[in-house]
Amino acid sequence: MLNKGQKPFWLSLDLPLFGITASFSRFSLQFCSKEIYSPAFPMKVLVADRISPIGVELFRAEAGFEVVEAYGSSPEQLLEIVKDVDAIALRSDTRVTAAVVAAAPNLKVVGRAGVGVDNIDIEACTDQGVIVMNTPSGNTLATAELTFTHMLAGTRPIVQAAASMTAGRWDRKLYTGSELNGKTLGILGMGRIGAEVAKRAQAFNMTVLGYDPYLTESRAKTLGVTQSTLDEVIEQADYITVHMPLTKDTKHMIDADAFGRMKDGVRIFNCARGGIIDEAALVEALKSGKVAAAGLDVYEDEPPAADSPLRSIANLVLTPHLGASTQEAQENVGIDVAKQMIEALKGEMVRNALNMPSLDPKALEQLAPYMTLGEKLGTFSQQLAPDGVEKITIRYFGKITELDTLPLTYAIQRGYLREISENVNDVNAPKKIERLGIETEQVKSSAHAEFTELVEVQVSCKGGKTRTIGGTLVGKGQTPRIVTIDGHGVEVNTNATLLVLKNKDVPGIVGFIGVTLGEDNVNIANMSLSRDQGEGFAVSVFELDSVPSETAAKKITDHAAIEKYRVIKL
């Protein structure tokens, strides 16, 4: 906001924007272009895979929601069904491919009842502005308990002993096991599931090492876990369990080299994602005795081939991806996904989104005025910049830094793209910016010399040129205002039609503009003027009540002293 003693003064800047020919259109605050936050009903929800009946009923209970259950649809049938749906709820059977997304022009939300989203083309969804969400908490306990079941089965060979009993044998001496007590467990990934596994390990008197790039020292202390590096876990743990997503960085994280550095007789388990452990390397480590026992619930290819070497190793326990397969977990994720999707479709909280910030209504309410400002700053900065923008730097000053500014950054990106790209919203704006080869940087600072709160957008272009525009909220009504352009103070109404001129600094220009616009019945609401003594040019910004006609525009641009003419309608 403006400081108490600060007054607006005449604009002084050097604007290189006049060669731009893109058209301008009025802003309307719309958090997502598909109106997720300005919902239009009725909405059609496709339940593509079987989820909890309670979840389905939650959809049906909402006024304005039509529910279609289409279980077991073929890919061809799915392409027909999605033509008019607003949301898709699914588990792991249905695949939301790029073709499905393209066939669903109304699609706003895809909700996965579960954690893994390997069956959803997130990039295609993001390109089309579709929110992808999962339900990471619904099956947390089920997966943690299955992990510990595998750990116990790898410690005491009960699976093998039970099989021998079924075969009519009494091989008591063959199945001597070990104990968890006093052993060191290394957990790769300290999210919800990893944290629950740690609790259970501590109950068995195990020492727990935790590796996670996002694990803080305070969080590790709260969990009773020793914060460790990946190398420390690999080299020191007696037991290792994996609870990380499969990414390019985690694929084959546990490979032959890692096995070579482990303790002899280590035990390793994966109930997270297939591919994190190199299965071929695991087979060799089990055969050599380097790994005493292992357990897998997930695989690089599911199901593993009938002749997979994994199936023939005695000290390896395999389960068919049972992580979330409890009655409680199945019900929980079905209810969770329905609640989350309903909230998002109704313009309320967005939770567990994988391709946009998760927002609660209170935070969204606090950010709303700033997001209006941010979108307009984004659009203005795009018109202000010359060609060849390489970087957008967004700086936040003052109390706004105490808020989660990521949604505001998205609003600025959305505004920047508004006139140069179609179907832009908070989901796809970051990706579209990235594809233009533009880097985005967000910087927070607690103070500013002139303003108690300021949002500043700087665009950096080829050749080192930069252009900067800043804005704040003014008064009790928190009215958005543009207050700096290239470091020069100004107070510009963001709801105005702006006429920006660059002209030779000669007498009579202001009078000429006033007369020309008056003859055109265009009223001037405000005006800022700056004289550039060095180059002999003047820059003026007129706030207008309407857009000048083509006749008036031609008269102005034909004037010998007028160098550049631009009408901007925010």
Catalytic residues: 273, 302, 321
Instruction: Look at the alpha carbons of 412, 418, 424, 425 in this order and tell me if their dihedral is positive or negative.
Output: positive
Q: Residue 31 gets which letter from DSSP?
A: S
Return d(Cα 40, Cα 28) in angstroms, integer. Answer: 16
Give the three-class secondary structure for 61. helix
CB atoms within 10 A of CB 165: 11
Q: Residue 547 gets which letter from DSSP?
A: P
Nearest to 150 by CA among 302, 268, 18, 13: 268
Give the three-class secondary structure for 539. strand
Percent of residues in the chain assigned helix, strand, coil, to nearest 5: 35, 25, 40
The amino acid at 388? G
Token pair listed for 318 = 């395999």
The amino acid at 84? D
Return d(Cα 202, Cα 279) in angstroms, integer. Answer: 29
Which residues contact residue 508 at a Cβ distance below 8 angstroms, ignoring those fewer than 6 apart? none
CA distances from 472 to 10, 354, 362, 449, 570 (A): 17, 30, 21, 14, 16
Strand 184-188 with 131-133, pairing: unpaired
Return d(Cα 357, Cα 335) in angstroms, integer. Answer: 22
Return d(Cα 335, Cα 53) in angstroms, integer. Answer: 8
Q: Quote the distance between the C-alpha of residue 400 and its chain's center.
A: 20
